[in-house]
Amino acid sequence: MIPLTVPALGAEELAAAESVLRSGMLVQGEEVRAFEAALAARTGRKHAIAVASGTTALELALRALDLGPGDEVMCPALTWPSPAHAALAVGAEVALVDVDPHEWNATEHDFAVARGPRTRAAIVIEQFGNPARHRPLAGALDGLKVIVDAACSLGAAYEGQPCGGHGLIACTSFHPHKELTTGEGGACLTDDDAIAERLRVLRNHGQRAPGQFVQASGNYRMTELAAAIGRVQVDKLETLVAARRALAAQLREVLPRDAVQHAPAGGEPNHQTLGLLIGAPGSGSAARDRVIAALRDQGVQAGALSYALHRLPQLREAGARAQAAGRTLVHAADLVDRGLALPLFPSMTEAQVSALRAALARVLAR
């Protein structure tokens, strides 16, 4: 079976983890600080604040920006639920935003129609490592607090600027499905000194300095073990992304052009996920489900692409509000119905690429 993904871990990560274990210093040592410095340098940011997961990063970002009850936060409707869950967790109201049928991200037009008088913030998602249209978005989101969900987009770039470098705060994830992994992990990236300080306090039980508790907060820290692995991975990011891009190009050759994700002008994706749409727009999920089963029969693991947030019980009300305001979220729903994720990982062998291309050609010809 060709798996959907395989984390790119080797001898260097093993050695880094072993050295932390031998040191006995498992938390709050030098590794987290060094990992943060490397991340900040790689994304062109002044500050990186490493935390326990991408979801944690989003929640802390919203808290650091004082978003809460009475505030409306815009969030694209096609995604893993974390950004919307984070907004709900701080007591904010979610305004769901449709996405572009080609780029699979919310564009400036999607955000502009969703923006209302109570909107205070926007979460801009770089879905599957496809950069958002940051230049036109800056106009549409002017005056709002912009958080970029860069969970999938480290190593990608927009107009030459590394992803993770956009927004008041960018949040990234180091889950094993991402291009850079620490097992579990995440980070907030920002250029603002005061926000960085608030994030560091929030991450560490609300302490400004050891024993100086200034507000109620939990423990959202990253371990030294995770950071040591992350340091090795940051150094490999360029190579890992280059491998993904080369493999994605080979695989996309056998896929219909209108069935894959398109980069915006100036965008250089990292292909964190290789998505494919099955059937004509509006045709539902039956054909997609048949393709997933047929690929499985050919030794290829494929899975459903993503989630339509307005279909989740905790976001149904947000979906109803969007519909009542005339936002049908039709593209998000259609991409979720027809979308599947294909295997793509940097260590994919030539034999696996050939087998995958052949299986796709056979299954898609039916």
Ligand X SMILES: Cc1ncc(COP(=O)(O)O)c(C=O)c1O
Determine the Cα angle at 158 with ends 226 and 177, to 5°: 30
Q: How far apart are CA 308 and CA 178, in angstroms?
A: 20
Q: Which is nearer to ligand X, 79 or 233 (CB)?
A: 79
Supply the minimum distance, in Å, between the C-beta of residue 315 and ligand X: 15
148 scored as a contact of ligand X (CB under 6 A)? no
**Phi, psi for 75 (deg, rounded to 5):** -150, 130
Residue with CB nearest ligand X?
54
Determine the Cα angle at 175 with ends 166 and 69, to 5°: 60
41-60 binders of ligand X (CB under 6 A): 53-55
Its sign, for the CA torsion 335, 258, 248, 240, is: negative
Part of the chain binding ligand X (CB under 6 A), chosen from 17-25, 74-82, 224-232, 341-349: 74-82
The alpha helices in the chain, defined as continuous H runs, are 11-23, 30-43, 54-64, 82-89, 108-114, 134-140, 193-203, 224-252, 286-297, 316-324, 330-338, 350-365
151 scored as a contact of ligand X (CB under 6 A)? yes
105 scored as a contact of ligand X (CB under 6 A)? no
270 scored as a contact of ligand X (CB under 6 A)? no
Binding residues for ligand X, how many (CB under 6 A)? 14
Supply the minimum distance, in Å, between the C-beta of residue 268 and ligand X: 18
Supply the minimum distance, in Å, between the C-beta of residue 47 and ligand X: 19
5 scored as a contact of ligand X (CB under 6 A)? no
Supply the minimum distance, in Å, between the C-beta of residue 294 and ligand X: 26
Q: How far apart are CA 27 and CA 322, in angstroms?
A: 44
SS3 287: helix
Q: Which is nearer to ligand X, 151 or 201 (CB)?
A: 151
Q: How far apart are CA 295 and CA 288, in angstroms?
A: 11
Q: Which is nearer to ligand X, 57 or 360 (CB)?
A: 57
273 scored as a contact of ligand X (CB under 6 A)? no
Among 43, 107, 130, 173, binds ligand X (CB under 6 A): 173
Q: What is the DSSP letter of 132?
A: P
Part of the chain binding ligand X (CB under 6 A), chosen from 39-47, 149-157, 290-298, 319-327: 149-157
Among 129, 165, 167, 186, binds ligand X (CB under 6 A): 186
Part of the chain binding ligand X (CB under 6 A), chosen from 23-31, 129-137, 147-155, 327-335: 147-155
Residue type, position 70, single letter:
G
Q: Which is nearer to ligand X, 146 or 360 (CB)?
A: 146
Inter-residue contact 163 to 156 (CB < 8 Å): yes
**Phi, psi for 20 (deg, rounded to 5):** -65, -45
Among 20, 51, 64, 125, binds ligand X (CB under 6 A): 125
SS3 243: helix
2 scored as a contact of ligand X (CB under 6 A)? no
Q: Measured between alpha carbons, how far is residue 212 from residues 65, 80, 206, 209 in Å?
A: 22, 36, 8, 5
**Which residue ranges make up the site for ligand X (CB under 6 A)?**
53-55, 79-80, 82-83, 125, 149, 151-152, 173, 175, 186
